[in-house]
Structure 1
Amino acid sequence: MTDQPEPGGRPDAPRLTTREAAELLGVKPETVYAYVSRGQLGSVRAAGGRGSTFDADEVRALARRSGRREPSPAGGDLVFRTGGDLVFRTGITLIEQDRYYFRGVDATELARNHSYEEVAEWLWTGELRPGVRFTAPSETLAAARRTVGALPAHSGSTDRLRVAVTAAAATDPLRFDLSPGAVLSSARSLIPTLVGALPVLGPTEADGGSLARGLWPRLTARPADAPALAVLDAALALLIDHDLAASTLAARVAASARAHPYAVVSAGLGVLEGPLHGAASGLAHRMLQEAVDRGSAVPVVADHLRTGRPVPGLGHRLYRGEDPRARTLFALLEDVPQAAGALAAAREVVATTARHAPLHANIDLALAVLSVSCGMAAEAGETVFAVSRTAGWIAHALEEYGERPLRIRPSGQYTGPRPAQPLPHAP
């Protein structure tokens, strides 16, 4: 294309130099001229014939079509693309050098020294509240239990959690109040409601205990002992947040549209059910259970490799070494006598696979050790994940409510037939 104004462009529109256009597009100056030659960008010869200038609005439109979004000069739009990844500015979780931090504090140390509720409060408010407990309102809990009880017997835990969220929302006429205090009040009642709505499998204790103690009899019929309960509490605390995982991104999109906190949690639960996210722990459970039953992990790993299936519970795209969450749980599981067999099988899985690939244990394998050794179902890890991550979704919703509404609006790159196509006719 020759250097002519783009048809329809505004004569008074601001102009960019080639260098400025290249920076905005995230490309080299030569690529800018390639866009011009392909008709994707118009240009005008600069005064004196030295270089070209480009319509700023047109360059921004091309940047959006190319999947790149720039932060606004005022810092209002904090969503942009770097190397193909969607990036948010967030003050909640940092992951670097095989460690992760909640508001600047080592998350594994928080989980070792504080309950799930205390870590949740830290994530929400940046304040530590020793001994804090979450309580479900009786009316809300009753509605959630009735709704969950109407589901078919074969329903999974995530099915039950989703309808429990809906029931809890229906009982809260103030759910559209998005002020921080109101959102936190909803969160502190919703999480214990989710736990209390799940079917009971084992002996329960009087209300008022920790969330982990309330969740335990919903996961297994075996009585809780202190070391195993400590592992469950730590697992809940470790899983609260993990940066912008898929379910958290869905939660932030919902919050960006100013959905109430119950709808934010529903959005997160919808994504969590995917086999590549929250449900991954069930695959690790089944593999580990088979290894325990067969007395060796070697043939189990061999079967996976022979059939081309990845060995579950290994590797994580954010860590080069062992997942710090898994490392923490493995250390705590050492104090659980009944976990010895599953723990040894998990380590054999890692050692056997290491002969072929340098993969390390992730959180799914650690959760599998807990669920296998304590007589829990394969979906127990998913349940722990969902209950725990609810607090993280709320933390991200609180952060997103403070941003410009509807800022998470990517542009589609259309690849269909170019208009104008003829009107279609029925055969």
Structure 2
Amino acid sequence: MTHDSTHGTGAQDADARTASDVPGLTTREAAERLGVKPETVYAYVSRGQLTSRRTPGGRGSLFDAAEVDALARRTGRRDPSPSAAGELVFRTGITLIEPDRYFFRGVDAAELARRYGYEEVAEWIWTGELRPGVRFTAPAESLGAARRTAAALPRHSSSTDRLRAAVAAAAAADPLRFDLSPEGVLNSARGLLPTLVGALPTAGEADGETGAGASLARRLWPKLSDRPADAASLAVLDTALGLLADHDLAASTLAARVAASTHAHPYAVVSAGLGALEGPLHGAASGSAHRMLAEVVGRGGAAPVVAEHLRAGRRVPGLGHRLYTGEDPRASVLFALLDEVPRAAPAMAAARDVVATTARHTPLHANVDLALAVLSVTCGMPAEAGETVFAVSRAAGWIAHAMEEYVEAPLRMRPSGQYIGPRPPQPLPAPGGAAVETSPPHGAVRGTGTDPGSAN
């Protein structure tokens, strides 16, 4: 360690003061290029991965820019550095969440989803380019395979079951799925999203307006409801898809990024996201909100329904979000649109009653699950409709995060387990509960855990 013990805050300040006078990168500049903390730069020096030279006066260090850039390419320029709490931090250019709103690539996400359709929002988060009027088309072979596979599932299968089966079938039908170039991933994504929608069974009669030229929201509607889609209700669905396209590192997105870090293809990334999404505390939470809201509408008031939830020790669905201090901005947008749908009035009144009743004791605000429940209850959709909307929409975000992860250093998410089991060596187990004393095979080393070639 040639510099760790001598370089503190004063040395870094000296680096900053001399930066304009001496060629080379200061410690802070080198750290920014590498995406690490200044202390890690000194660790690279101690390992011989970087060389440094003293600044005039000897109080700081300078680094050759070309050498730093070469190291950044070898290690992955944006490797996350640990936070103060020791957590893994992901640098992402997709979504920024603030206490009362959120942004897609710097643009207010609520405004974006209000003004543009889901496909246009998806293109924006994938590429940072707006393509007005863009429509996605499912490849015939992939769509056929996905439909056959999803249709073969038992009748009681959920929509998420069918989506997972559809993704697997579509992957098998795409020989180019392993092309992880940006254009290759985008081609897969633009075909996969309409394939997911097309593989779902139809709830009602298709009305002839759901072909390839229709928006994905228009094609999804008859999969969710057997009622005709009026323009106002369809606008709510399309906006919901845009709003839900990404929300930073939610559990399903983290699962998707872990899969992408192994260079799994985009279909496998979406499969990983769907697996995490199915948990009752994530995407499936909207189903609980639907059932609760339908009961409130049926009973004519929120008070008895809220009371029963609290008495059973259950949280009231559709309320509260750990990232927002007030109402979920996604819910605010959808409520404003639902106010323009006349038939939504009973469900809207029920949702407001739930919020007001609960607020007497706990200041919780509506989240997007409650807004999705208003849509699904109003339009005669099943309880799982919100989860379906969530899954189709968020697939775009998982793809966006996969594209970021593909250019990072692979297999970088490998935490170490804290073993709490019996201390080895233990006797070899035998039938009947008896134990057989044993020793490791000749030449074996037990429990070193140092194999650098294994990612498992």
- Any idea what SS the aligned residue of 1:94 has? strand
Q: How many Å separate the matches in 1 of 2:228 and 2:262?
A: 44
- Counterpart for residue 358 of structure 1: 363
Cα 1:417–1:188 change in 2 (3 A) is same
Deviation (angstroms), 1:139: 1.4
- Give the C-alpha shift of residue 415 in structure 1: 2.5
Normalised by the length of structure 1, the TM-score is: 0.83
Question: C-alpha deviations, 1:396-416, integer Å up to 9, x for none?
Answer: 001111111111111222233
Question: Partners of 2:87 and 2:231 in 1: how far apart?
Answer: 42
Aligned-residue RMSD, C-alpha: 2.1
- Aligned counterparts of 1:414 and 1:216: Cα–Cα separation in 2: 49
**TM-score, length-normalised on structure 2?**
0.77
Task: State whether structure 2 residue 122 is matched by structure 1 residue 120.
Answer: yes
Task: Output the CA distance in 2 between the equivalents of 1:171 and 1:79.
Answer: 39
State whether structure 2 residue 164 is matched by structure 1 residue 162: yes
Task: Report what 1:99 is aligned to.
Answer: 101
Amino acid in the other structure paired with 2:295? E
Contact 1:251 1:268 in 2 (8 A): yes
Letter paired with 1:127: E
Q: Specify the alignment match of 1:244 in structure 2.
A: 249
> 1:295 aligned to 2:333?
no
Aligned residue among 377, 388, 397 for 1:372: 377
- Secondary structure in 2 matching 1:203: coil
After TM superposition, list the pairs within 5 Å mapping 1:5-404 onto structure 2: 16-17=4-5, 74=72, 75-83=77-85, 85-204=87-206, 205-206=208-209, 207=211, 208-404=213-409
Residues 356 and 247 (structure 1), Cα distance of their counterparts in 2 relative to 1, 3 Å cut:
same
How far apart are the structure 1 equivalents of 2:161 and 2:81?
Answer: 32
Which AA in structure 2 matches 1:423? P
CA drift of 1:15 comes to: 8.3
1:308, CA displacement in angstroms? Answer: 1.1
Contact 1:116 1:234 in 2 (8 A): yes
Q: Is contact 2:328–2:365 with CA below 8 Å preserved after alignment?
A: yes
The gaps in structure 2 that reach 5 residues or longer are 9-42, 48-70, 435-456
- Residue 14 of structure 1 deviates from its aligned partner by 6.3
Deviation at 1:209, TM superposition (A): 0.3
Number of residue pairs matched by the alignment: 368
- Matched residue SS, 2:214: coil
Gaps of 5+ in 1: 1-12, 21-55, 61-72
Instruction: Provide Cα deviations, 1:352-402, integer angstroms capped at 9, x if missing partner.
Output: 000110100000000000000000000000000000000000000011111
SS at match of 1:392: helix
Within 2, Cα distance between the matches of 1:422 and 1:307? Answer: 44
- Look up the SS of the partner of 1:133 in the other structure: coil
CA contact (8 A) 2:118 2:216 kept: yes
Deviation at 1:230, TM superposition (A): 0.1
Output one character per residue of 1:319-360: Cα deviation in whole Å (capped at 9) or x when no partner.
110000000000000111111000000000000000110100
Kept after mapping to 2: 8 A contact 1:79/1:408:
no
